[in-house]
Chain A
Amino acid sequence: MSTSLEQLFAKTKAENRAALIAYIPAGFPTIDGCNKAIKALAAAGVDAIEIGFPYSDPVMDGPTIQEAADISLKAGTNAHDVFAALKTASECGVACVVMTYWNPIEKFGVEKFAQAIADNGGSGVITPDLPIEESKQWLEATKKYAINPIYVVAPSSSSERIAQVTAKTGGFVYAASVMGVTGARSSISVDARDLVSRIRSTSQLPVSVGLGVSTREQAREVAGYADGVIVGSAFIKLLLNAESEQKGLDAVSALAKDLAAGVREGR
């Protein structure tokens, strides 16, 4: 049986377009606000949602996501809030995954965590600081509960390394577009296109590009060569800078519609 995520990429392939994947941390801007944002994203045409597990030491994240995580953690967000957000996304009919640093999984219990993902309608988990060498227990758990272990590859990854990592990956390969942390950037580097083609030479999996995408133009450009376009910090910035939660949600909805159009214009 395939996951919703795998079904999504089969569908977008048939439609000859890239999927739009949005990231939002659980409990941000509030528990209720997060639920509303998930619904707004789904209604605006986002194909899949990544629920972030806010973490105290997010070394892969730039200032925008750090600030969102701090706000969420101060309000007491925990694993159960993450699973509840996942369930909300799943009930909206979009494919959904969790993105988390490794320690919260280990603390929760590796197998229990995989089970909770499956039980709440999740398709998989992105683990940005878990290399394949440390993944034995995790891969057993994700296999047992039939969810996708999603790994990140970087422009610095050698072709040999890309082959090793993608061999363990399920759902899609997360291609980090630049050497650096999350956050909106004015342009998407040429590294991203090169990385995607290097991944394609060794793996049949769909490839999604993350880090730095924030505009319809960028979404269109990336959709020209990738199977998925991941947008995180741009949505979070709108929520952080909004005068009111409703205005923030309206802005998120408008950007999502724009990006959804962008991923359909790429080919």
Chain B
Amino acid sequence: MSTQTNDFDGHFGEYGGRFVPEALIGALNELEDAHISSQKDPVFLAQLAELHRTYTGRPSIITEVPRFAEHAGGARIILKREDLNHTGSHKINNVLGQALLTKRMGKKRIIAETGAGQHGVAAATAAALMGLECVVYMGEEDTRRQSLNVARMKLLGAEVVPVTSGSRTLKDAINEAMRDWVTNVADTHYLLGTVAGPHPFPSMVRDFHKIIGEEARQQVLALTGKLPDAVLACIGGGSNAIGIFHAFIPDSDVRLIGFEAGGDGVETGRHAATITGGSPGVLHGTRSYVLQDANGQTIESHSISAGLDYPGVGPEHAYLHDIGRAEYRAINDDQAMEAFALLCKTEGIIPAIESAHALAGAMIIGKEVGPDATLLINLSGRGDKDVQTAAEYFGIPL
């Protein structure tokens, strides 16, 4: 069995592909061509590497967390510190790459969707850096929950458009961004924030994030002299997870484990665990697992983490799941918040609530595999943006 995903035509097994209005086909072909040619262009690659060195802060470090590990069966636990990147998460890897591609295609305007605001902030940052016009679509509900990030985007010069249709969250922000793109595709690039959407987005966004795993693989080898036993990441759309998984896919002895947002518990129906609790279908231009009802209508997702609160997931994850190369489990809100608090108090690191799902996963997996194992966790973002949510959860008066 081949474990290398096959994406030359935009499909991962039966997943992926393109399910979009005909008006976008030309733009997707143009984007695919630009991406393929740029990946072979030493000038483009050097430009991106230099930006990562001098602006993002790459390579991001790894940090071993022994005091946290005491609560995870004593396994050796190593964090990949994407939280230390400029703008506070892995999202910057993708936006810098796509913003460079936007300029390469001669387009002057980018649009983006955002849930929690992290991708919106990253997109607005890249637009400011490169002198591009930037419009961010954000569900009206989310603009209220994440008003600080709305202010950040505005400070960076972006226009933030509150979306009032449907459930007024991330899913509807994507719908609205797609409508903008259909209308303005001639001069606009849709800077999609995750490894979902129509081809080439799942492959392209992965290519911009796979540096996470490439760095971490070398760093863990240098530190421990061997590969980790398992690589863990939280998964909403799946960009940080595919970023750290990808370099390890050929290492068949290394387990790859994604932790979805279980919300109130998958059994309650109020969750965002798309692979664990969904079924194959088409959403936002790609075939993958989807939270949907018997009529194929999308079901609203629920999670304490706005960044994981999405009823779809990247098609490459659906494929890795079906062929058994990666495992996917659900972590509910309470488990994630316990791990969140624990990392704060044992290691002095405030993680993003998204990343806390992977930390909670490590507390379970660590006990399963025992003290001789080494676990590598992608700490995809920092928790500054989550202080208000966490304070409310733990009853800390503000």
Give A residues with C-beta under 8 Å from B.
55-60, 62-63, 66, 70, 73, 78-79, 102-108, 128-131, 133-134, 151-158, 161, 165, 176, 179-181
A57 touches B182 (CB 8 A): no
B26 touches A156 (CB 8 A): yes
Option from A102, A156, A158 in Cβ contact (under 8 Å) with B19: A102
Q: What 0/1 pattern do residues 12 to 33 of B give for CB contact below 8 A with A? A: 0000011111110111000000
- 14 A–B contacts from the bound complex (CB under 8 Å): A55-B297, A59-B179, A103-B281, A105-B296, A107-B295, A129-B19, A129-B21, A131-B19, A131-B20, A157-B26, A161-B22, A165-B22, A179-B186, A181-B179
Option from B17, B26, B175 in Cβ contact (under 8 Å) with A57: B175
Nearest to B294 among chain A residues (CB) is A107
A residues in contact with B292, CB < 8 Å: 103, 107
B166 touches A70 (CB 8 A): yes
Task: Name the residue among A56, A134, A181 with the largest chain B CB count within 10 angstroms.
Answer: A56
Complexed CA–CA distance, A78 and B294 (Å): 9
Nearest to A67 among chain B residues (CB) is B165
A103 touches B22 (CB 8 A): no
Complexed CA–CA distance, A75 and B284 (Å): 24
Is the C-beta of B178 less than 8 angstroms from some C-beta in chain A?
yes
B residues in contact with A161, CB < 8 Å: 22, 25-26
B342 to chain A, nearest CB (A): 37
B22 touches A152 (CB 8 A): yes
A134 touches B19 (CB 8 A): yes
Interface residues of B in 300-325 (CB under 8 A from A): none
Nearest to A180 among chain B residues (CB) is B183
Is the C-beta of B283 less than 8 angstroms from some C-beta in chain A?
yes
Count of chain B residues with Cβ under 8 Å from any Cβ of A?
A: 34
B residues in contact with A152, CB < 8 Å: 21-22
Is the C-beta of B290 less than 8 angstroms from some C-beta in chain A?
yes
Complexed CA–CA distance, A55 and B290 (Å): 14
A129 touches B20 (CB 8 A): yes
A156 touches B18 (CB 8 A): no
Is the C-beta of B282 less than 8 angstroms from some C-beta in chain A?
yes
Option from A73, A156, A165, A179 in Cβ contact (under 8 Å) with B297: A73
Nearest to B290 among chain A residues (CB) is A103
Nearest to A58 among chain B residues (CB) is B175
A241 to chain B, nearest CB (A): 18
A residues in contact with B128, CB < 8 Å: none
B residues in contact with A57, CB < 8 Å: 166, 171-172, 175, 283-284, 298
| Known A57-B175, A157-B26; further 8 A-B contacts with Cβ < 8 A | A57-B166, A60-B179, A60-B182, A103-B282, A104-B296, A134-B19, A156-B186, A161-B25
Chain B at the A interface: mostly helix, strand, loop or mixed?
mixed
Complexed CA–CA distance, A158 and B283 (Å): 26
Complexed CA–CA distance, A122 and B279 (Å): 29
A residues in contact with B297, CB < 8 Å: 55-56, 73, 104
Nearest to B179 among chain A residues (CB) is A181
Q: How many A-B residue pairs have CB under 8 A?
A: 111
Option from A59, A63, A103, A107 in Cβ contact (under 8 Å) with B21: A59
Complexed CA–CA distance, A58 and B179 (Å): 9
A38 to chain B, nearest CB (A): 21
Complexed CA–CA distance, A70 and B296 (Å): 15
A55 to chain B, nearest CB (A): 7
A37 to chain B, nearest CB (A): 22
Known contacts A106-B281, A181-B182; is-contact A158 B26 (Cβ 8 Å): yes
Complexed CA–CA distance, A155 and B184 (Å): 12
Nearest to A164 among chain B residues (CB) is B25
Complexed CA–CA distance, A105 and B295 (Å): 9
Is the C-beta of B61 less than 8 angstroms from some C-beta in chain A?
no
A residues in contact with B26, CB < 8 Å: 156-158, 161
Is the C-beta of B349 less than 8 angstroms from some C-beta in chain A?
no
Top 7 A-B residue pairs of the complex, sorted by shortest distance between their CB atoms: A107-B296, A154-B23, A104-B296, A180-B183, A59-B178, A103-B296, A56-B297
A176 touches B22 (CB 8 A): yes
B residues in contact with A55, CB < 8 Å: 296-297
Is the C-beta of B185 less than 8 angstroms from some C-beta in chain A?
yes
B17 touches A133 (CB 8 A): yes
B residues in contact with A129, CB < 8 Å: 19-21, 282, 285
Complexed CA–CA distance, A220 and B20 (Å): 31
Interface residues of B in 141-165 (CB under 8 A from A): 165
Option from A56, A105, A106, A181 in Cβ contact (under 8 Å) with B183: A181
Known contacts A56-B297, A103-B290; is-contact A179 B23 (Cβ 8 Å): yes
B182 touches A179 (CB 8 A): yes
Q: What 0/1 pattern do residues 266 to 282 of B give for CB contact below 8 A with A? A: 00000000000000011
A residues in contact with B171, CB < 8 Å: 57
